Amino acid sequence: MRSQASGASSTSSTPASYTVRETTFGNGTVVREYLSTSGAVFGIAWRGPQMPDLNDLLGSYFPQYVAGVKAARAARGNARGPVAVNDSDIVVRSGGHMGAFSGVAWLPSALPAGVSGSDIQ
């Protein structure tokens, strides 16, 4: 996963084993990045009127996400709707509708001790 480079405003908080950096874009979309103590992004969450650029946010994991989305849609007859990709390397849950999108993504193997996917919000 990549750290988001640009944004309208950004804030940080510091839980014990990780840092959360929140960026609000001009379009109102908010992206929260979860960073380990070494500075590596292990999770992201988003919400807002527009989807963020997942290619940029997921970085080298984006092809796995796309493959997972294609497989999930094929399994349900190419129907659109919320997406859940549960790969051993990356987990992504995304959904919403025009004007209200949200989602989370995390790297299971990179979660700090004591942190679970449900902590990514």
Mean pLDDT (whole number) for 77-102: 87
- Domain ranges for the chain: 9-109
Q: What is the DSSP letter of 81?
A: S
pLDDT above 70 for 15: no
Dihedral angle over CA of 118, 113, 52, 89, nearest 10: -100
Confidence tier at 6 by pLDDT (50, 70, 90): very low
Q: What is the DSSP letter of 100?
A: E
Which amino acid is present at 45?
A
Specify whether the CB–CB gap between 112 and 104 falls below 8 A: no
Give residues with Cβ within 8 angstroms of 49, minimum separation 6.
27, 28, 29, 99, 100, 101
Q: Measured at the alpha carbon of residue 44, what is the angle toward residues 26 and 23, in degrees to the nearest 5?
A: 25
Q: What is the DSSP letter of 114?
A: T
Distance CA 106, CA 115 (A): 11
Under DSSP, is residue 118 helix (H, G, I), strand (E, B) or coil? Answer: helix
Tell me the per-residue pLDDT of 47-56, one tens digit each, with 9 for 90 and over.
Answer: 999 999 999 9
